[in-house]
């Protein structure tokens, strides 16, 4: 029997699982392609929860990398991934985003002479150190990828500026919006809060927020909670560099609820309830505008400027006074809040997975004719 073309999807962290699920689902609508899933072990626990949430199980799972080691150990992860990828003998390896897993898998596949397709290609902050190492990882993957799935026209323009062949770029929208739509369809409609307090949802986990910026975010949260008319919900990332300082600064503070990471449906439900979302997360920057939630981005630069450009997000950095002032403005001025709650989503229409699957099938058909 003729062997089916094989795609190996590699994931290492929570956002990769969430954002890759729509691609896997679109590829598995029939049996034409053999789709396999490899988990790198980068963030094992968060990844397992996220994969379970989307009904996926890895076909291959590498042992967990030492906590905190992955960013420095891209080369070590590439060495571990090489035999695992070779053993699957895929026609193409599909990667999503900008993590150490993505860069390591790209290096391993490229070294083996296996084609690489990159989902969420072309995001650029323009600063190799912010976010670090993600910006470096994205730039690197673009140099070895055969197919580039850019979520927006701006991402495409970034790739073209770096010399990527226009024929290799497909503008697809971001698969996070597909995933968001799928979760929203399963959730009960959000019920209004009954205690009269508005919810502020906070997430922060990026390396460049560690230390003084995170302390400033905590100070801002404490001051906002002291208003008395808001409740802050912060699902705290398990990284010790986040968990330790956030707990030390905010555990037991009135009006602040710290909880473990939520599953994706829980996080989406919290976003639906929120009056404002404050985050340094990439994925949450894409999701909140689609839910019509004003978004304060706790970063100095972002590789997702589209939300800022269309007025649904503001880049507020990590200065406590600035964060408090911007949040207070949104809480106290309904017109300002309404202007940022338009629901305009520059990141996609929920059909990115289908577009990516179609492009992959076309590429496989050209390369592996029946
Ligand atoms: N997320 C989640 N639970 C949480 C926090 C975030 O499911 O407690 C989801 C979020 O909705 C988004 C994704 O995780 O889909 C973003 O991942 P993360 O913030 O870890 O990484 P980034 O997007 O910054 O790479």
Report d(CA 136, CA 284) in Å as an integer.
21
* Per-residue pLDDT, 69: 57
- What is the structure's pLDDT at 178? 98
Contact 143, 103 (CB under 8 A): no
Q: Residue 1 pLDDT more than 90?
A: no
165 is catalytic: no
How far is the centre of ligand 1, averaged over its atoms, from the C-alpha of 368 (Å)? 36
pLDDT given for residue 338 in this prediction: 95
What letter does residue 337 receive in the DSSP assignment? H
Mean pLDDT of 166-180: 98
Q: Is 14 in the pocket of ligand 1 (CB under 6 A)?
A: yes
Q: Is 134 a catalytic residue?
A: yes
**Which of 45, 203, 289, when mutated, tests ligand 1's pocket best, judged by the most ligand atoms within 8 Å of its CB?**
203
For 247-252, what is the mean pLDDT?
98
CB of 16 within 6 A of ligand 1: the answer is no
Is residue 89 within 8 Å of 62, Cβ to Cβ?
no
Query: Which residue among 206, 207, 222, 304 is the active-site one?
Result: 207
Q: Which of 98, 208, 286, 287 is catalytic?
A: 98
Q: 49 CA distance to ligand 1 centroid (A)?
A: 12
Mean pLDDT of the chain: 95
- 264 is a catalytic site residue: no
Place of tokens 């967990």: 64
Task: Answer yes or no: is pLDDT of 129 > 60.
Answer: yes
For ligand 1, whether the C-beta of 277 sits within 6 Å is no
Strands of the sheet with 169-171, listed across from one edge: 60-61, 34-39, 6-11, 92-96, 115-119, 147-150, 169-171
Burial class (CB in 10 A: 0-12, 13-18, 19+), 97: buried
How many other CB atoms are found less than 10 A from the CB of residue 135?
20
Q: Kind and range of the H or E element at 274?
A: strand 274-279
- CA–CA dist 255, 259 (Å, integer): 13
| pLDDT of 70 above 90 | no
Is residue 67 predicted with pLDDT exceeding 70? no
Residue 90 near residue 113, CB atoms below 8 Å? no
The string of DSSP letters for 54-103 reads: TT---SEEPPPPPTTTTTTTHHHHHHHHHHHHHHH--SEEEEESSSHHHH
Q: Tens of pLDDT along 14-55?
A: 999 999 999 999 999 999 999 999 999 998 889 999 999 999
Using one digit for the tens of pLDDT, what is the confidence trace for 140-151? Answer: 999 999 999 999
pLDDT, mean of residues 333-360: 95
User: Which pLDDT value is given to residue 310?
Assistant: 94
Q: What would the pLDDT profile of 256-285 be if each residue is shown by its tens digit?
A: 999 999 999 999 999 999 999 999 999 999
Binding site membership of 203 for ligand 1 (Cβ less than 6 Å): yes
Q: How far apart are CA 178 and CA 154, in angstroms?
A: 19
| Cα angle: 248, vertex 251, 257; to 5 degrees | 140
351 as an active site residue: the answer is: no
Position 343 scores a pLDDT of: 83
Please, which pLDDT band fits residue 114 given cuts at 50, 70 and 90? Answer: very high
Answer for the pair 247, 236: CB distance below 8 angstroms, yes or no. yes
Q: What per-residue confidence (pLDDT) applies to 71?
A: 52
120 given a catalytic annotation: yes
pLDDT of residue 43: 87
Pair 295, 289: CB distance under 8 Å: yes
How many CB atoms sit inside 10 A of residue 139's CB?
Answer: 15
Q: Closest residue (by CA) to atom 19 of ligand 1?
A: 281
For residue 237, indicate whether it is catalytic.
Answer: yes
Q: Which of 196, 172, 213 is nearest to 275 (CA)?
A: 196
Note whether 78 and 104 are within 8 A (CB): yes
- Which run of H or E residues covers position 200? strand 198-203
pLDDT tens-digit readout, 215-233: 999 999 999 999 999 999 9
pLDDT of residue 332 exceeding 80: yes
How far apart CA 315 and CA 323 sit, in angstroms, is 10
Per-residue pLDDT tens over the stretch 96-110: 999 999 999 999 999
- Quote the pTM value: 0.95
């Amino acid at each position: 029997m003729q062997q089916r073309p094989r795609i190996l999807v590699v994931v290492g962290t929570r956002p990769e699982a969430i954002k890759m699920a729509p691609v896997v689902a679109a590829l598995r609508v029939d049996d034409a392609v053999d789709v396999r899933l490899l988990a790198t072990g980068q963030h094992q626990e968060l990844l397992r929860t996220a994969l379970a949430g989307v009904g996926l199980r890895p076909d291959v799972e590498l042992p967990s990398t030492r906590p905190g080691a992955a960013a420095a150990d891209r080369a070590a992860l590439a060495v571990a991934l090489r035999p695992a990828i070779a053993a699957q003998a895929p026609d193409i390896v599909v990667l999503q985003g900008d993590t150490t897993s993505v860069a390591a898998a790209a290096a391993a596949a490229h070294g083996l002479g296996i084609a690489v397709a990159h989902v969420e290609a072309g995001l650029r902050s323009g600063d190799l150190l912010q976010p670090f190492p993600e910006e470096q990882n994205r730039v690197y993957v673009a140099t070895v990828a055969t197919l580039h799935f850019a979520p927006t026209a701006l991402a495409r323009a970034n790739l073209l500026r770096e010399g990527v062949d226009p024929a290799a770029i497909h503008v697809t929208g971001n698969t996070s919006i597909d995933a968001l739509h799928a979760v929203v369809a399963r959730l009960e409609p959000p019920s209004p809060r009954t205690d009269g307090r508005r919810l502020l949802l906070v997430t922060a986990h990026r390396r460049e927020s560690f230390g003084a910026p995170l302390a400033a975010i905590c100070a801002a949260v404490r001051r906002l909670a002291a208003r008395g008319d808001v409740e802050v919900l912060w699902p705290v990332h398990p990284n010790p560099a986040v968990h330790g300082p956030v707990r030390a600064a905010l555990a037991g503070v009135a009006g602040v609820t710290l909880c473990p990471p939520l599953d994706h449906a829980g996080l989406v439900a919290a976003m639906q309830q929120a009056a404002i979302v404050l985050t340094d997360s990439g994925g949450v920057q894409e999701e909140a505008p689609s839910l019509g939630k004003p978004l304060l981005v706790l970063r100095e630069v972002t590789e997702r400027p589209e939300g800022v450009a269309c007025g649904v997000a503001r880049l507020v950095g990590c200065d406590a006074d600035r964060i408090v002032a911007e949040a207070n403005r949104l809480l106290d001025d309904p017109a300002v809040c309404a202007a940022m709650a338009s629901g305009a989503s520059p990141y996609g229409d929920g059909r990115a997975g289908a577009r990516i699957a179609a492009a992959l099938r076309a590429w496989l058909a050209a390369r592996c004719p029946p």
